[in-house]
Amino acid sequence: MAIIRIQKMSPKHISSVVELDRLCFGGLWSAQGYQRELESPNSDLLILVISQNAEDSNKKVFFKSSNFQSQTNYSHQSIIGIGCLWTILEEAHITILGIHPQYQRLSFGKLLLYTLMRSAWEKGLERATLEVATSNISALSLYYKFGFQDVGRRRRYYQQTGEDALILWRGHLDEPEFEETLSEWHREVITRMDGYELSWEELFLEDKNLYNTRHTCT
């Protein structure tokens, strides 16, 4: 069975993440950019790692990271997702969310966005925001499912294409009902990860029993 781990990024992951960034965004941040983010106290960088045995032909690993050292006896480990959250006053700014092209549409984006939103909630932040290209239907659909709403537009925000960006916000993270919303999202991602063993690696302060143990989702 493949294991999916969501964990903090560290310097040893930089070259693999830059490669993933190139595949997801065409090269948004450089190695120096990621290094700066890792050093910033306001930035949380998360990676999604898949580990599996070579014999496991059920779900193939398509993307083998170049410098990611195996910590288990799993023979293949790949970084297939990256997410970044900046804490600015009481706001969570989601600056990066990317899933390897060959792993898209498998609910990993949902899993990572849920994790970022849960992190924002644990930090006591009040709302979340991000920018997304007007043509990025898959990302928009994902964000709307998490309650984000359009509040504005930045004209010609993307230099390469000249495309506008929509500004999305998701409020009410600090209200009591949001905890129940998080539980619903959690149930959904667990269900979607059927067939994987899922692990949040010491990411969350609360609900240690829930999050710091392995979930077997079969």
Ligand X SMILES: CC(C)(COP(=O)(O)OP(=O)(O)OC[C@H]1O[C@@H](n2cnc3c(N)ncnc32)[C@H](O)[C@@H]1OP(=O)(O)O)[C@@H](O)C(=O)NCCC(=O)NCCS
* Longest Cα separation, the chain: 50
| 93 bridge partner residues | 86, 129
**Among residues 105 and 155, whose Cβ is nearest to ligand X?**
105
39 a catalytic residue: no
3-state helix, strand, coil in the chain (%, to 5): 35, 30, 40
Task: Please check whether residue 189 is in contact with residue 114, taking contact to mean a CB–CB distance below 8 angstroms.
Answer: yes
Q: Is 170 left (phi over 0), alpha (psi -120 to 50) or beta?
A: beta
**Chain residue at closest Cβ approach to ligand X:** 109
DSSP string over 199-214? EE-S--SS-HHHHSSP
Residue with tokens 């990860």: 193
* Positions in the binding site for ligand X (CB under 6 A): 24-25, 97-99, 104-110, 132, 136-139, 141-142, 145
37 a catalytic residue: no
Q: Where are the alpha helices (DSSP H) in 1-49?
A: 14-25, 31-39
**Among residues 25 and 62, whose Cβ is nearest to ligand X?**
25
Instruction: Indicate which residue of 131, 163, 188, 201 is catalytic.
Output: 131
**Among residues 188 and 212, whose Cβ is nearest to ligand X?**
188
Nearest distance in Å: CB 55, ligand X = 26
Nearest distance in Å: CB 80, ligand X = 9
Task: Report the run of H or E that residue 115 belongs to, with start and end.
Answer: helix 108-122
Residue with tokens 């659909």: 141
Nearest distance in Å: CB 153, ligand X = 14
Nearest distance in Å: CB 209, ligand X = 26
Nearest distance in Å: CB 165, ligand X = 9
**Among residues 153 and 208, whose Cβ is nearest to ligand X?**
153
Instruction: Indicate which residue of 114, 143, 196, 211 is catalytic.
Output: 143
Nearest to 28 by CA among 88, 96, 92, 89: 96
**Among residues 212 and 217, whose Cβ is nearest to ligand X?**
217
Length of the chain: 218
Q: Catalogue the active-site residues.
A: 131, 143
